């Protein structure tokens, strides 16, 4: 069901997921932007029946093709997930082959080196998941063809034969001079002792080459075997997943969700699905949504009714993540909005960075809020007494790099003076997952009980943040998505998080 308002369109469906899917089918993934989403009660059958529906307001992008797509057409043009693999050491073709009077080998006679194979493999996607999903072609195996190995053996044999032929011509028995323990190796019983051969004679050189060649061929054969096993494992991993789970896995990987977390999600979601449902992307996506409802934690609204003086919140986190800007946004929400109208004061512990107090002071003046600079732990008690009449005290801290463990301990000591304060760890969505994990660990020294994600406007990769939420049990309180004070902040709850970020991880293309 749709209603048009110029470039705005309302799409109504049973669930938010289906509404978004419908929009994607109609305008393509990049053909629209979500403006709003809400649950509404729709009348059906002349108003006899009321049904809860989801209404998605979208803004249609100018470049939208607006070509309706059928469900089957949605999976298109997905580049294969690049797979990192160890590059085996290259085995060079010895250029001496054509020298020293040895038989010249035609290019086609040469054994295929790994460098040749690697380039040809680039043309063959390892994960032809799309083709499996579309059912167009059978899964394309990365495995080396049996014929590859046979060709290789054949070529290798041919080379050896040519060399042996050459040796025979020079009246030397190559078997006698093959490496010890090799299939060609002989013993002194053969009556020919290689040590007797003069080192610089053409024959001695040929024998040495022959030994080297055999060693090389063996190494190459082993490496091929190793590669074959490796690629088979990877393919098995992709192919054994049913279509729905495979689609979900790909979407999660696209938003840079760490691999171990993807595995965790797959394990969790698949538990609630029958094998048949796991093959259905729509049902898998719904199960994923339900699983997330259960797993993702969001903070409650600030509680001002504890009767113990002002509510105190402290923002901690690395330098430059947006603590001070977020404090200004929070102060604006609570002091300016007609609904809240709270009296707010700022405390800042950030005397470390030049200009830091001035930055907060600037916001304090604009919002008509008192600001106190705290130089020592003792200051806190005094300033707290002074501001007992306030509803909310927001404390700014110096951005500490997680490596400054001593500084973090000092901060922790000061914050001990605020035992009832809620501590919010601020994380930037632009940080790498590995650094986010490090930040969580190091700021654990100070302690925190809520999370704030900032700079969501600067990335599409929600995966690392999703991973943090799933791995830690700390609830998410706010999300910021721009530099504008006070507009670019949102109270995080599941609906908001799902509509704005999570739904992207379960879209079909
Ligand atoms: N794009 C974007 N920039 C932000 C956001 N929040 C803060 N910033 C910017 O990040 C920079 C550092 O912010 P600041 O509040 O000083 O960080 P602090 O060192 O943690 O206090 C400033 O340029 C802010 O305007 C956000 O949500 N999105
Ligand atoms: Mg700051």
CA-nearest residue, atom 7 of ligand 1: 322
What pLDDT was estimated at residue 156?
Answer: 59
Instruction: Give yes or no: residues 391 and 459 share one domain.
Output: yes
Whose CA is closest to 349, among 218, 420, 446?
Answer: 446
Instruction: Give yes or no: residues 110 and 136 share one domain.
Output: yes
Query: What is the C-alpha to C-alpha distance for residues 118 and 87, in angstroms, rounded to an integer?
Result: 8
- Location of structure tokens 């797509």: 69
In a domain, 269, yes or no: yes
DSSP-derived 3-state class of residue 289: helix
Asked whether 348 lines ligand 1 (CB < 6 A), one says no
In a domain, 63, yes or no: yes
Six-digit token string for 232 = 């088979």
Along the chain (509 residues), what's the average pLDDT of each consecutive run of 10 residues?
A: 59 84 85 80 52 81 51 35 46 41 39 35 32 35 45 61 63 45 44 48 77 86 71 52 90 92 94 93 91 94 82 94 96 85 92 80 92 89 93 90 76 89 96 94 92 95 94 94 94 91 67
Asked whether 454 lines ligand 1 (CB < 6 A), one says yes
What pLDDT was estimated at residue 431?
Answer: 95
- Location of structure tokens 């024998």: 207
Please give the distance, rounded to the nearest whole angstrom, from the Cα atom of residue 359 to the centre of ligand 2.
8
CA-nearest residue, atom 17 of ligand 1: 322
The number of domains in the chain is 4
Task: For a ligand 1 pocket test, name from 321, 322, 454 the mutation site with the most ligand atoms within 8 angstroms of its C-beta.
Answer: 322
Six-digit token string for 456 = 């969501």
CA-nearest residue, atom 4 of ligand 1: 483
Instruction: Give yes or no: residues 318 and 253 share one domain.
Output: no
In a domain, 368, yes or no: yes
Please give the distance, rounded to the nearest whole angstrom, from the Cα atom of residue 321 to the centre of ligand 2.
8
What pLDDT was estimated at residue 116?
Answer: 36
Question: What's the residue count for the chain?
Answer: 509
Asked whether 397 lines ligand 1 (CB < 6 A), one says no
In a domain, 503, yes or no: no
Supply the range of the domain harboring residue 247. 243-295
Instruction: Give yes or no: residues 14 and 114 share one domain.
Output: no
| Pairing between β-strand 344-348 and β-strand 392-396 as defined by DSSP bridges | parallel
Please give the distance, rounded to the nearest whole angstrom, from the Cα atom of residue 319 to the centre of ligand 1.
10
Query: Which atom of ligand 1 is found nearest the CA of 325?
Result: 15
What pLDDT was estimated at residue 395?
Answer: 96
Task: For a ligand 1 pocket test, name from 318, 325, 395, 457 the mutation site with the most ligand atoms within 8 angstroms of its C-beta.
Answer: 325
Asked whether 387 lines ligand 1 (CB < 6 A), one says no
Asked whether 319 lines ligand 1 (CB < 6 A), one says yes
Asked whether 457 lines ligand 1 (CB < 6 A), one says yes
Instruction: Give yes or no: residues 106 and 13 share one domain.
Output: no
In a domain, 104, yes or no: yes
CATH code for position 407 = 3.40.50.300
* 305-to-301, 302, 334, 392, 412 alpha-carbon distances in Å: 11, 9, 14, 11, 26
Query: What is the C-alpha to C-alpha distance for residues 435 and 441, in angstroms, rounded to an integer?
Result: 10
In a domain, 76, yes or no: no
Considering just the CA atoms, what is the radius of gyration of the chain in Å?
34
In a domain, 256, yes or no: yes
Asked whether 480 lines ligand 1 (CB < 6 A), one says yes
């Amino acid at each position: 069901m749709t209603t048009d308002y110029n470039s705005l369109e309302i799409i109504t469906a049973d669930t938010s997921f289906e509404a978004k899917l419908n929009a994607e089918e109609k305008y393509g993934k990049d053909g629209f932007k979500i403006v709003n989403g809400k649950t509404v009660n729709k009348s059906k059958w002349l108003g006899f029946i009321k049904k809860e529906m989801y209404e998605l307001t979208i803004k249609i992008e100018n470049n939208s093709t607006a070509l309706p797509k059928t469900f089957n057409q949605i999976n298109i043009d997905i580049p294969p997930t690049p797979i990192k693999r160890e590059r085996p050491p290259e085995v060079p073709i010895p250029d001496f082959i054509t020298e020293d009077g040895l038989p010249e080998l035609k290019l086609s006679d040469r054994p295929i080196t790994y460098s040749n194979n690697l380039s040809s493999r680039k043309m063959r996607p390892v994960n032809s998941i799309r083709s499996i999903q579309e059912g167009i072609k059978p899964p394309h195996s990365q495995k080396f063809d049996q014929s590859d190995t046979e060709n290789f053996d054949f070529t290798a044999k041919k080379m050896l034969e040519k060399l042996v032929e050459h040796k025979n011509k020079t009246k030397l028995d190559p078997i006698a001079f093959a490496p010890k323990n090799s299939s060609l190796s002989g013993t002194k019983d053969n009556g020919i002792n290689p040590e007797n051969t003069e080192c610089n004679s053409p024959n001695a050189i040929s024998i040495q080459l022959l030994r080297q060649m055999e060693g090389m061929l063996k190494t190459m054969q082993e490496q091929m075997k190793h590669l074959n096993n490796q690629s088979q494992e990877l393919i098995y991993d992709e192919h054994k997943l049913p279509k729905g789970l495979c689609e979900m896995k790909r979407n999660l990987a696209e938003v840079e969700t760490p691999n171990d977390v993807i595995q965790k999600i797959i394990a969790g979601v698949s538990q609630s699905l029958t094998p048949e449902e796991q093959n259905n992307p729509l049902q898998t996506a719904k199960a994923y949504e339900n699983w997330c409802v259960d797993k993702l934690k969001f903070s409650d609204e600030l509680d001002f009714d504890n009767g113990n003086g002002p509510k105190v919140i402290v923002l901690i986190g690395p330098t430059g993540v947006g603590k001070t800007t977020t404090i200004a946004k929070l102060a604006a929400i609570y002091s300016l909005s007609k609904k809240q109208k709270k009296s707010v004061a700022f405390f800042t512990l950030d005397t470390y960075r030049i200009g830091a107090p001035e930055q907060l002071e600037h916001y304090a003046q604009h919002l008509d809020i008192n600001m106190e600079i705290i130089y020592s732990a003792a200051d806190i008690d005094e300033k707290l007494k002074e501001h007992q009449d306030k509803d909310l005290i927001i404390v700014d801290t110096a951005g500490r790099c997680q490596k400054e463990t001593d500084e973090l301990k000092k901060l922790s000591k000061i914050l001990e003076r605020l035992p009832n304060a809620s501590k919010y760890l601020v994380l930037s969505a632009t940080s790498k997952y590995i650094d986010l994990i490090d930040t969580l660990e190091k700021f654990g020294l100070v302690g925190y009980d809520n999370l704030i994600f900032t700079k969501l406007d600067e990335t599409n990769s929600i995966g690392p943040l999703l991973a943090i939420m799933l791995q830690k049990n700390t609830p998410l309180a706010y999300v910021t998505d721009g530099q504008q004070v006070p507009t670019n902040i949102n109270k995080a709850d599941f609906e908001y998080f799902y509509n704005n970020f999570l739904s992207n991880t379960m879209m079909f293309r």
